[in-house]
Structure 1
Amino acid sequence: MISEPELLDDEGEPLRGTTPAHGPRGGAPYGLDPSHPEDGAPPTGRGGGRYRRPWLWAFGGALGASVLWAAGLAAYQTRGPDLGGYRASDALCAEAPLSALVTALGKRGATTNADAYGHPALDRTYCSVQLGEPPSGYEANLRYELHKEIDPAPEFDAVQSRAAMPEEPAPEPVPALGDKAYFSVSGGTYAELVVLDGPAVIGLSVSTLHEYVDDTGDPPGESTHAPLDGVKEFMVEDMRELMERLRSPAPSGPDGTSSPDAG
């Protein structure tokens, strides 16, 4: 095989620009033209052109992103999770006037003390209120969960959209109430409204109460309770008011709470 002859200078070195090369121009890296170096600078050294390492730029970008992520995480931990304005409540029934249900079912009676549980991840409160006059009274139960670390939405839909018993109809979605809401009635003697609003899950249920007149356990006669199928609108109205109160500052009073009127 006959190779191309090389031209040598007076010192026996190949003449510049005449050495066969494997790149676009002899002595220069691929993609770099020694006659047109970066930034308009003249060629430097043999082979010409300044070559910038692209991995330095990539490293700098990754480092900057890490710094921004760490700063955002620190700000989130300082600020805490977004609770949508909701706060914990140690006196849930005292904050729930239930004015609409009082109008529909009768005056407000005995109230249980709130069963409150606080934790960095979850605040939970339960209580109950009696409504109406015996022997045709009712009991309203309230529950409130404030999730401070985990989004309750996936679990809420999986549980609340299903009927409690196979023979019962599926809960009815309630539009324009929180993020999601469901209403259900069981046998005309139990009604429940459950709402998801951001990190808060709030439940309001109403059930009939029966009294017995003697030790035999015999009921006093035919029940005079009205079916609970018609209480949906009253429950929705009371739920809206309770949600608004739980997004407002806690009421003030001798014990840190204020009780609604019993009538």
Structure 2
Amino acid sequence: MISEPELVPEGYFGAAELPGQRPAADDVVAEDQGPAGPRRALPAWLWALGGAVVASAVWAGGLYVHSAAEPDLGGYRVSRNLCLDAELKALSAAMGERVGQGSAWRSTHESLDDASCYFEMRPTGYELPTDEDGNELGSLPSVSVGYTLHKKTDPGPEFEGAVAARHTAVEEAAVEESDESVGDDGTALRRVDGLGDMAFVVRDSGGITLEVLDGQAVLTMSTSSDWDAETGEPLTDVADFEPMMAEDMKALMARLKS
């Protein structure tokens, strides 16, 4: 006995039907709409484009997060003229008044700002000796100040090593010129408390250098003695100026945050 043929939707009559390939409900159309065609798969290039868009969005989001996480400068600003920012009231009282406006220098970059200043100090009543032509001989005591503001990277991990390397290089250069043994000039690197995150004092026969790390800022202050024109020996003992330097450094740090 021949059974009646299985009813299938119009448009599919005569097509081989495999298990799992029955038309979905939304593939069946009314008679007045005509047969529904098979669904088209998305081209491979469109999938690739979508993946690229997603990847770009993720990258852009990561870039935004990275740029938003730039270091906190802790209130430090760029110094337009470090000679004006460094008032040096304590050192001026001990060493003498500043000669002129000082010599200032600065460099600005998106990653860091550098500034420096150099002063000569004239003790009260002090006059430089002159030769028979009226040319001044010898030198006046001086103070130099440096300021670097790191705007992208953290200077902390390298600070101590940089200070030690810098002063070791200076010491070795002096030894090579004088043929003296290392340490004969009394150079010493010592850590001090109460200044920024980390601070060191370096002493040698001619002066004192104070180096300070405070967050993203690195500051230096150096004093140098005047020199006898005939003997080349220092005339001013700067060994007692360390407390004044620390006082002026604190004032400078506060001013650079104002």
Is the TM value for this pair above 0.5? yes
SS at match of 1:176: coil
1:196 is aligned to: 213
Distance 1:82 1:111 in 2: 32
1:170 is aligned to: 188
Equivalent residue in structure 1 for 2:78, among 81, 88, 104: 88
1:132 and 2:122 correspond = yes
SS at match of 1:201: strand
1:41-91 CA-partner distances (Å, limit 9, x unpaired): xxxxxxxxxxxxxxxxxxxxxx9xx97x97685256257431111111120
1:205 and 2:222 correspond = yes
Seen in structure 2, the aligned counterparts of structure 1 residues 226 and 209 have a Cα distance that, compared at 3 Å, is closer
Letter in 2 for 1:181: A
Equivalent pairs, count: 175
Gaps of 5+ in 2: 1-53, 129-138, 172-181
Alignment of 1:242-253 (within 5 A): 242-248=252-258
SS at match of 1:97: coil
Distance 2:102 2:96 in 1: 18
Alignment of 1:138-157 (within 5 A): 138-157=141-160
Contact in 2 for aligned 1:111/1:127 (Cα 8 Å):
no
- 1:179 deviates by 0.6
Which has the larger share of helix? 2
TM-score for the superposition, normalised by structure 2? 0.60
151-160 or 120-129: bigger deviation: 151-160
- 1:107 deviates by 1.4
TM-score for the superposition, normalised by structure 1? 0.59
Contact in 2 for aligned 1:87/1:246 (Cα 8 Å):
yes
SS at match of 1:110: coil
1:180 is aligned to: 198
Contact in 2 for aligned 1:111/1:128 (Cα 8 Å):
no
Alignment of 1:92-107 (within 5 A): 92-107=82-97
Superposed CA RMSD in Å reads 2.8
- 1:111 deviates by 3.2
Gaps of 5+ in 1: 1-62, 213-218, 249-263
